Amino acid sequence: MRLPRGHQPELNAALYLAGELGRRTRRWFERHLLECEDCWREVTLGRLGRRLAEELREIAPAKLRDDVRAAVSAAPAPRRRRFRAHGGSS
């Protein structure tokens, strides 16, 4: 994937951190980071946010996990709707 046109530090950093950039674009962006304070800040904040989220994530108690799994297993499968294309008269 390529970066969107224009300078969008927040979006560019998100794509970079998510691993959505192609090899050439990623290399270009990494060189750009050395010169662009806005993009550097967004990447740094994104990494910090991910780290904090991982540290604060709480593992559900075993009983709750078992209850949720049982409820999901017991739930009926969702019904799929079939859509027909309505064409004009020929």
| CATH number for 28 | 1.10.10
pLDDT at 6 over 70: yes
In a domain, residue 84? The reply is no
CA atoms within 13 A on the CB side of 76: 3
In a domain, residue 77? The reply is no
Total structural domains within the chain: 1
Q: Are 74 and 44 in contact (CB under 8 A)?
A: no
pLDDT at 88 over 70: no
pTM greater than 0.85 (yes/no): no
In a domain, residue 85? The reply is no
In a domain, residue 3? The reply is no
Domain of 32, in residue numbers: 9-71
pLDDT at 8 over 60: yes
Query: What span, in angstroms and rounded, lies between the C-alpha atoms of 13 and 67?
Result: 38
Apex 65 CA angle, 64 and 66, nearest 5: 90
Helix axes 9-17, 37-56, angle to 10 degrees: 50
